[in-house]
């Protein structure tokens, strides 16, 4: 059986596992994209050039954008369900609020798992899916939705990717996807259910930023790692949300046009997936109506609030599906037009998980702009807390920045890049979809849209 293009690996060695994930999840580098994400022809060199200083600046910008987004949106979380948030927003909050946010500290669990193995010959691919699962199983913080379901499964002895996947309800229960279609409540969770009923939810999308920030201009590498970690707690669109966001961050290292970033990153998801269809609808609406983000929100909300499958069923206007909330991220990005304050405000006003969504959007634009171009008040405030530790971790803000740079450098060199005269020359990569199409409520099938050739 194949999950996300990866074979079940219960009896496979660590080194073989790493090889399977690299080879099977997406595709092999082709040396260059036919056109760069910003329309630049790269096939003559097959490389993206970024200075060491610029790399550091963009990584810092990504984390500050993430922090600002979650701190701005935090007071509004789920206050607007099925409607826009119309209240006041403080666009210049205290940044120390980020140290207690699960949007960041949950990521550090997976960061630590990778960092423990980073000096292994397999480098960024040394930590296996089971390593990430073990780290997550042993975490001590409170969790909800797919994260909780995944960790509960891990603690029952259910290994990833089964811990996050749809595997069918017990006999006599109806699947969540069927329940949505019928307008009924989804199945009830109990100790006997060997599936994650929240697998389509937003969780991996929330906590995937670290992957994009370690994969500058390397979207294929971002999808490989996203696929491996995301299946610990999610499946299908729940995993694809991590692909979409982490690839946008990866592309933001080389492209300053957010519209092109969104339009390129959508190709990291199978075109038959509901998530892809949602984002395509946002893009198409924006292309025809580029000046009215409220009209775009209404179109998406009206069409998908009852059909974007999440764990809660369609009984009310609460929806925590990765796909619907990802659409709100895309609305903020496209209508924000590269302005980080406007982007975060638009994303927050779209409602639902309105701290997590602007946090992802802020990470993308923060990476694109870089730290030095972010609001001075944000920078002055975050710089007051260089030694503050994130909740449930030993990582300080400084540790997070420095470790992100170390992982990025490792990823560049491991993926065929090199350092010359304080400039990184990064080998360009294709944007590839997973080989398998996963959709909640269904077994995985070969992805009919998959075009990349394996070596």
Assigned domain for 122 exists: yes
Q: Based on the number of CB atoms within 10 Å of its own CB, is 191 exposed (0-12), middle (13-18) or buried (19 or more)? A: exposed
Range of the domain at 48: 2-168+192-446
Note the pLDDT tens digit of each residue in 114-168. Answer: 999 999 999 999 999 999 999 999 999 999 999 999 999 999 999 999 999 976 5
Assigned domain for 176 exists: no
Is the overall model pTM greater than 0.85, yes or no? Answer: yes
Q: Please say if the pLDDT value at position 418 is more than 70.
A: yes
- Between CA 108 and CA 110 the distance in angstroms is 5
pLDDT mean over 438-453: 85
- The count of other CB atoms within 10 Å of the CB of residue 452 is 15
- The pLDDT of residue 176 is 47
**How many distinct structural domains can be found in the chain?**
1
Percent of the chain with pLDDT over 90: 78
Q: Please say if the pLDDT value at position 45 is more than 90.
A: no
3-state secondary structure 109-161: HHHHHHHHHCCCCCHHHCCCHHHHHHHHHCCCCCCCHHHHHHHHHHHCCCCCC
Q: Please say if the pLDDT value at position 8 is more than 80.
A: no
Assigned domain for 391 exists: yes
Assigned domain for 174 exists: no
Note the pLDDT tens digit of each residue in 238-255. Answer: 999 999 999 999 999 999
Assigned domain for 186 exists: no
Assigned domain for 300 exists: yes
Of the two residues 117 and 186, the one the predictor is more confident about is 117
- Between CA 232 and CA 216 the distance in angstroms is 24
pLDDT mean over 278-297: 98
Assigned domain for 454 exists: no
- Between CA 379 and CA 365 the distance in angstroms is 15
Q: Cβ distance 300 to 327 under 8 Å?
A: yes
Note the pLDDT tens digit of each residue in 336-366. Answer: 999 999 999 999 999 999 999 999 999 999 9
Assigned domain for 277 exists: yes
Q: Cβ distance 347 to 361 under 8 Å?
A: yes
- For 445, phi then psi, to 5°, come to -135, 160
- The pLDDT of residue 15 is 35
Note the pLDDT tens digit of each residue in 92-109. Answer: 999 999 999 999 999 999
Percent of the chain with pLDDT over 70: 83
Report the CATH number at residue 324.
1.10.4080.10
- The pLDDT of residue 218 is 97
Does residue 305 have a cis peptide bond before it, meaning omega lies within 30 degrees of 0?
Answer: no
Whole-angstrom CA distances from 44 to 189, 226, 269, 322, 427 are 55, 29, 28, 38, 12
């Amino acid at each position: 059986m194949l999950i996300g293009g990866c074979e079940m690996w219960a009896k496979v060695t660590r080194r073989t596992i790493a090889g399977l994930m690299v080879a099977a999840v997406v595709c092999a580098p082709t040396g260059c994209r036919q056109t760069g994400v910003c329309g630049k022809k790269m096939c003559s060199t097959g490389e993206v050039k970024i200075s060491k200083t610029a790399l550091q600046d963009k990584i810092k910008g990504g984390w500050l954008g993430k922090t600002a987004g979650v701190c701005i949106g935090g007071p509004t979380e789920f206050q607007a369900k099925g409607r826009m948030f119309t209240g006041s927003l403080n666009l210049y909050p205290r940044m120390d609020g980020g140290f207690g946010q699960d949007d960041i500290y949950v990521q550090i669990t997976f960061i630590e798992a990778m960092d423990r193995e980073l000096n292994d010959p397999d480098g960024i691919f040394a930590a296996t899916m089971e390593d990430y699962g073990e780290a997550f199983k042993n975490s001590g913080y409170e969790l909800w939705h797919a994260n909780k379901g995944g960790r509960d499964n891990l603690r029952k002895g259910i290994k990833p990717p089964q811990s996050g996947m749809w595997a069918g309800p017990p006999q006599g229960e109806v699947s969540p996807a069927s329940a949505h279609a019928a307008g009924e409540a989804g199945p009830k969770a109990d100790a006997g259910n060997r599936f994650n009923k929240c697998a389509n939810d937003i969780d991996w999308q929330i906590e995937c930023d670290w992957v994009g920030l370690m994969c500058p201009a390397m979207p294929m590498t971002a999808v490989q790692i996203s696929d491996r970690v995301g299946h610990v707690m999610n499946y299908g669109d729940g995993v694809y949300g991590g692909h979409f966001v982490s690839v946008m961050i990866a592309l933001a290292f080389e492209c300053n046009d957010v519209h092109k970033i969104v339009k390129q990153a959508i190709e990291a998801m199978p075109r038959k997936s509901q998530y892809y269809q949602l984002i395509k609808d946002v893009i198409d609406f924006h292309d025809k109506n580029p000046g009215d983000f409220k009209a775009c929100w209404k179109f998406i909300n009206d069409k998908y609030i009852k059909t974007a499958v999440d764990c809660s069923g369609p009984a009310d206007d609460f929806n925590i599906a990765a796909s619907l909330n990802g659409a709100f991220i895309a609305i903020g990005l496209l209508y924000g037009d590269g302005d980080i304050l406007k982007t975060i405000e638009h994303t927050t006003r779209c409602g639902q998980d309105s701290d997590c969504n602007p946090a992802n959007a802020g990470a993308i634009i923060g990476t694109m702009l870089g730290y030095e171009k972010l609001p001075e008040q944000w920078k002055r405030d975050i710089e007051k807390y260089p030694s503050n530790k994130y909740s449930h971790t030993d990582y300080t803000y400084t540790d997070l920045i420095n470790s992100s740079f170390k992982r990025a450098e490792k990823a560049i060199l491991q993926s065929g890049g090199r350092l010359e005269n304080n400039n990184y020359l990064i080998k360009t990569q294709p944007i590839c979809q997973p080989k398998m199409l996963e959709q909640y409520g269904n077994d995985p099938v070969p992805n009919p849209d998959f075009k990349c050739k394996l070596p």
